[in-house]
Amino acid sequence: MTVNYYVGWTGMPWKTDLMPEPTAPSNYKDPEKIAAAVAEKRAKQQETAGSVPIYGKLEAVTVLDEAGEVLFGHTSGDTLDGVDDVAAATAFVDFLLDTFIFPTEDADYELRVASEPARLIGLEVKTSLKMAAMEVFSREGRAGIPMRMWYRRTFCVDPFEMLRAGVPDLTLDAALSFVGSTATPAEYQQGAVSQSHATAWAARELATRIGIAQAVATAQTEAASL
């Protein structure tokens, strides 16, 4: 059986100066309308930058095990192993490298923990891995990050995206309600856990309810599903 890990994360804008300069529609002639259109597009860029690799960076990450217990949790700026002000991306990359054996061959798509195949489940979980790798590349210039951490991550599953396919206006709360779950854990509503923890919980809840958590995964079937 594949060992499942549930990833929750939040992001924030970072290198927004690299984003393309927005332009107004070509048929706009009035300077005020052009300025307003450009300002609106720029505002939307800023809103989405926190969830886009290169333009955004990780703010916080939480990883849960099958039982829902926290295996890893870090928010940018927190202390880690006696080091102050550690970025979430740095902590997350180190956790991933310490915990998992990433595939290194082009034909190998399977993530492993010890001798067991592993799978990362979360909302836009592939994005979180790429954001972490991109930030570490840029900020620290580190080498040795496996390509599969940020490219062709076939061991990642997004249960919300599976439900949302073909239903683009489906919200996370609606998806959880549809499968018979509460919208958010009581601990999050009470402020006892972080948003990244709540997102990891939601991913685990959805995966359990729709059967992903119980499924036996192989590299071949996961690769075929892409």
CATH number at 92 reads 3.30.420
Q: Is residue 126 part of a domain?
A: yes
Q: How far apart are CA 29 and CA 89, in angstroms?
A: 44
pLDDT at position 169 is 94
Token pair 């836009």 in the structure block, residue: 124
Q: Is residue 37 part of a domain?
A: no
The answer to whether the CB of 129 falls within 8 A of the CB of 96 is yes
The answer to whether the CB of 101 falls within 8 A of the CB of 111 is yes
pLDDT at position 217 is 42
Q: Is residue 204 part of a domain?
A: yes
| Per-residue pLDDT tens digits for 65-117 | 999 999 999 999 999 999 999 999 999 999 999 999 998 877 778 999 998 99
Q: Is residue 171 part of a domain?
A: yes
Q: Is residue 50 part of a domain?
A: no
Q: What is the pTM of this model?
A: 0.86
Q: Is residue 154 part of a domain?
A: yes
Q: Beta strands of the chain (E only): which ranges?
A: 3-13, 56-64, 70-75, 111-113, 116-122, 156-157
Around Cβ 65, how many Cβ atoms within 10 Å?
A: 14
Q: How far apart are CA 213 and CA 5, in angstroms?
A: 9
Flag whether pLDDT at 224 surpasses 50.
Answer: no
Q: Is residue 43 part of a domain?
A: no
- Say how many domains are in the chain: 1
Residue 221 banded pLDDT, cuts 50, 70, 90: very low
Q: Is residue 167 part of a domain?
A: yes
The answer to whether the CB of 9 falls within 8 A of the CB of 224 is no
Residue 52's SS3 state is coil
Flag whether pLDDT at 146 surpasses 80.
Answer: yes
Query: In terms of residue numbers, what domain contains 189?
Result: 3-13+55-224
